[in-house]
Amino acid sequence: MSAVDAAALTAWVREFARLVHEQRDALTQLDAAIGDADHGANLDRGMTAAVAALEATPSDDPAAVLKTVATTLIKTVGGASGPLYGTFFLRAAGALDGDDGRALATAVRAGYDGVVARGKAERGDKTMLDALGPACDALDEALGSGKPLGEALGAAAEAAAAGRDATEPLVARKGRASYLGERSAGHVDPGAASSTLLVQAAATALAGEG
């Protein structure tokens, strides 16, 4: 039986880590334009450590997989994005109840709400929320209309990428980029770019599950 179980979530985390590693320099370049040029390095370090932690202490409990990622990111990623991604995975772990697509959608929505609560940003502030929010909406909508999980995650990944691209003209209102004021416009937000990779990784790794 296919399911969004511990093995499937581990595959998601590994694919996210792979994409972050591959895109590390591109993420850092985005952060060089409107931040301090550390986002790719930060997240690559954190996700490499998260994969190592999952290998060191494998678990059959899906929530434990997400929790290990959360605590590792909080420990190893400096900057704003570490605690925010950590909160995403921690809240998702706490809300995970079941192993189907709906359970996954509920968990990632809780993760998104956790990032909102922790970072006190809104959509349109030019942050990771601009990719994660539309992705959660698209996932809920697609599952609600009866689409299989693979298709729903594909729609979520498209929504995330559109949200990422839509950050380009925005003026940042949260985080380090907000210090630049109007000069932050004209650049894609690095956190929106990395969050899009998180959703793309789910679409690749979980397509056949739940």
- 161, 16, 202, 169 alpha-carbon torsion, rounded to 10°: -10
- Binding of ligand ADP by 176 (CB under 6 A): yes
Which of Mg ion, ligand ADP, none does 175 bind, CB closer than 5 to 8 A by kind? ligand ADP
Q: Which of 87, 127, 196, 200 binds ligand ADP (CB under 6 A)?
A: 127
Q: Which residues contact 39 (CB under 8 A, 6 or more apart)?
A: 27, 28, 30, 31, 79, 81, 190, 191, 194
Using CA of residue 76, residue 79, residue 81, residue 87, what is the dihedral sign? positive
Distance separating alpha carbons of residues 93 and 45, to the nearest angstrom: 21
Two tokens, residue 112: 């998104």
Among 66, 38, 62, which residue's Cα sits nearest to residue 53? 66
Distance separating alpha carbons of residues 6 and 96, to the nearest angstrom: 11
Which residues within the stretch 39-68 sit at the binding site for Mg ion (CB under 5 A)? Answer: 39
Total number of residues that touch ligand ADP (CB under 6 A): 24
Distance separating alpha carbons of residues 152 and 94, to the nearest angstrom: 22
Smallest gap from residue 202 Cβ to ligand ADP (A): 18
Contact string (CB under 6 A) for ligand ADP, positions 25-64, x = contact: ------x---xx-xx--x----------------------
Using CA of residue 4, residue 57, residue 27, residue 123, what is the dihedral sign? positive
Q: Which of 15, 31, 44, 99 binds Mg ion (CB under 5 A)?
A: 31
Q: Which of 115, 139, 153, 199 binds ligand ADP (CB under 6 A)?
A: 115
Which of Mg ion, ligand ADP, none does 119 bind, CB closer than 5 to 8 A by kind? ligand ADP
Q: Which of 13, 47, 50, 79 binds ligand ADP (CB under 6 A)?
A: 79
The contact set with ligand ADP (CB under 6 A) reads 31, 35-36, 38-39, 42, 79-81, 84, 115, 119-121, 127-129, 174-176, 189-192
The contact set with Mg ion (CB under 5 A) reads 31, 35-36, 38-39
